[in-house]
Amino acid sequence: MAQTTPLSAEIITTGTEILLGDIVDTNAAWIAQQVREVGVNLYYKMTVGDNEPRVRGVLEMCLGRSDLLLVTGGLGPTADDITRDAIAAACGHTLVRDEGIVEKLRERFARWGNPMTENNLRQAYIPAGATVIPNPVGTAPGFITPDLRHGRGARIIAMPGVPREMKRMMTESVLPYILTLTGGVGVIRRRILRTVGIGESSLDTQLGDLMNAGNPTVGLAAHLGQADIRIAARAASADEAEALLDQMEAQVRERVGQYIYSSTQDESVESVTARLLREAKATIALLETSSAGAIAERLRAAEGGSEVLADVRIEEDRAEVVDEAQARRIAADLRTGAGATYGLAILSSGQPDEDFYSQTPGQTWLALAGPTGIRTARFPFGGRDNISTAWIGNRALDLVRRDIVGI
């Protein structure tokens, strides 16, 4: 029977190699994207090492609060593959040998022309009462184990940790199964609005009441030198969810629209600026002091960015004069000297101890000379560290973006 309220879920990844940092857990992010598309509320993600008591303890805790536990890893044939044991213990079941799995294992090894070692039979043991999930591209099957002790009918869905095997199971078996639980109704859609030139705390002040809304939800994510606004909406259909996102985005843009440079999650400030320059058939000449050419390199790395660079000058030494008048003069001279649409000067005091968190942060003046005049901005730091360079670079590129779009 389909559930009338949204399912709650969590992802549990097992594997000591993940805790040690030897490999990166990409499975959890991919699974999260998939369950979002079928309207499941994902509330928790965690990683546990290959230790049966610890895995069992986590499962017992999660069974008391969630409808679905999506578990990956630890279903192979070796001694440290203990996930099936932990799941059986957490649900109060015994492990039983499934002869159908045994037969498929023998067939597969015979087809490969390899002998099947005895330890492979570990993969044929599943918790009593579990439903087998076929694994068409590997030897370890998955399974679905119900747990009825908490009154909600929670389910553990166990899948291999090998991404290729897990993804095939999710696509062919797990997602269709989840849709039978939800009745195939309900989706979650999200949208990322990327901002620059405003900090996370300022965004929180501007959008605080919207962030308390129930549906759509609004959240913030800070990155180096910029912040994202995340909007997520739940609805019966994708079209309805997108309509809710449109309504909320309009409210967000009404308040902080001047800082939003993109609604594409992976688009960078330099990509947007390079595209706008190309579309305007404009070029830019740069002078950088403390950033050692980092801003020019960011533009070059963007698609078509090399086409818009008319001249690049890098001065490693500390600027003799760092003030607004000097920055304005250099920006105007850059534009004229290179015959470019824009001249952008970045003048920093650039002392070795003037990093972002220093007690003597220095200063940086930005000036952009263009067809409509000269824009300037000042930063109260002038260091050469990565944080200073990222903040200054983002602000400099944003000056160009704002001038082209008329903000």
Collect all residues with Cβ–Cβ distance below 8 Å to 18 and sequence separation of at least 6.
Answer: 24, 25, 47
Q: Quick check: is 141 in a domain?
A: yes
Q: Quick check: is 362 in a domain?
A: yes
Which pLDDT belongs to residue 1? 45
Q: Quick check: is 2 in a domain?
A: no
Q: How high does pLDDT run on average in the chain? A: 89
pLDDT bin (cut points 50, 70, 90) of residue 281 is: very high
Q: Quick check: is 1 in a domain?
A: no
Shared domain check, 366 and 309:
yes
pLDDT at position 384 over 90: no
pLDDT tens for 297-335 read 999 999 999 999 999 998 866 657 789 999 999 999 999
pLDDT tens for 337-352 read 999 999 999 998 877 6
pLDDT tens for 138-197 read 889 999 999 877 656 799 999 999 999 999 999 999 999 998 888 766 778 889 999 998
Shared domain check, 153 and 36:
yes
Which pLDDT belongs to residue 182? 80
Neighbours of 223 (CB within 10 A): 13
Shared domain check, 373 and 307:
yes
Question: Which strands sit side by side in the sheet containing 226-235, from one edge to the other?
Answer: 217-223, 226-235, 187-196, 260-262
Shared domain check, 286 and 142:
no
Domain finish residue from 182, 210, 237: 182
Shared domain check, 319 and 206:
no
Helix (H/G/I), strand (E/B), else coil: 131? strand
Which pLDDT belongs to residue 319? 59
Shared domain check, 168 and 24:
yes
Q: What is the mean pLDDT of residues 278-290?
A: 94
Q: Quick check: is 373 in a domain?
A: yes
Strand segments, DSSP code E, in 295-397 are 309-314, 342-348, 364-370, 373-379
Shared domain check, 169 and 65:
yes
Domain finish residue from 230, 262, 294: 262
Length of the chain: 407
Per cent of the chain over pLDDT 70 is: 96
Distances (CA, A) of 384 to 134, 351, 391, 396: 55, 8, 11, 15
H or E stretch covering 95? strand 95-97
Q: The domain spanning residue 194 has which CATH number?
A: 3.30.70.2860
**Number of separate domains in the chain:** 3
Q: The domain spanning residue 160 has which CATH number?
A: 3.40.980.10
User: What is the DSSP track for 4-51?
Assistant: SSPPEEEEEEE-HHHHTTSS---HHHHHHHHHHHTT-EEEEEEEE-S-
Shared domain check, 329 and 393:
yes
H or E stretch covering 330? helix 324-338
Q: What is the mean pLDDT of residues 36-59?
A: 92
Collect all residues with Cβ–Cβ distance below 8 Å to 173 and sequence separation of at least 6.
Answer: 133, 134, 142
pLDDT tens for 191-221 read 999 999 888 889 999 998 998 887 888 998 8
Q: Quick check: is 312 in a domain?
A: yes
Shared domain check, 215 and 293:
no
Shared domain check, 59 and 78:
yes
Shared domain check, 174 and 198:
no
Distance CA 383, CA 362 (A): 7
Q: What is the mean pLDDT of residues 78-101?
A: 92
Which pLDDT belongs to residue 224? 81
Give the structural domain span for 80.
Answer: 8-182
Q: What is the mean pLDDT of residues 75-90?
A: 92
pLDDT at position 10 over 70: yes
The residue among 237 and 401 whose pLDDT is bigger is 401
Q: Quick check: is 211 in a domain?
A: yes
Per cent of the chain over pLDDT 90 is: 62
CB-based contact 346:381 (threshold 8 Å): no
Q: Quick check: is 3 in a domain?
A: no
Domain finish residue from 218, 238, 262: 262
Collect all residues with Cβ–Cβ distance below 8 Å to 211 and sequence separation of at least 6.
Answer: 204, 217, 218, 219, 220
Q: The domain spanning residue 279 has which CATH number?
A: 3.90.950.20
Distance CA 223, CA 102 (A): 50
For residue 160, whether the previous peptide bond is cis, meaning omega lies within 30 degrees of 0, is no
Which pLDDT belongs to residue 94? 94
Shared domain check, 171 and 22:
yes
